[in-house]
Amino acid sequence: MSEQTHRASLHDPASTRVNQPGREEGVVRADSHPVQHERPEEWGWHGETGRWGRVGAVVAILFMLAYLIGNHEGRIEDLWVLGIAAVMILIMVLDWRRRRNAWRAR
């Protein structure tokens, strides 16, 4: 919004100023309402991929471990593949532990 348009909207009799918590003061027209904070849960996102995400992670780990089979001679890449697969397994174990204990108080 240009500065000229912004100034015109501040003095427009068909608009009002509203104080929005956590945001700057807004200019709202008479026939509309200010922007409200929308939580991701309202749009259907709860931060987890569900069962299919976990199945996909297992498939990705199996594909990573399949890279160990091949005609390469150097073993440094095997260490990298094993390290990345180990980190992925660790993340899955931590996620399993978090889901198992989610309802309990810490």
Tens of pLDDT along 33-76?
A: 666 666 766 666 666 778 898 999 999 999 999 999 988 888 89
Q: How far apart are CA 63 and CA 35, in angstroms?
A: 45
- Give the per-residue pLDDT at 34: 60
CA distance 29 to 9: 9
88 residue type, one letter: M
**DSSP code at position 26:** E
Cα–Cα distance between 87 and 57 in angstroms, integer?
Answer: 12
Q: What's the angle, vertex CA 79, arms to CA 74 and CA 52, rounded to 5?
A: 125
> What's the pTM?
0.54
SS3 73: coil
Beta carbons of 9 and 27 less than 8 angstroms apart: yes
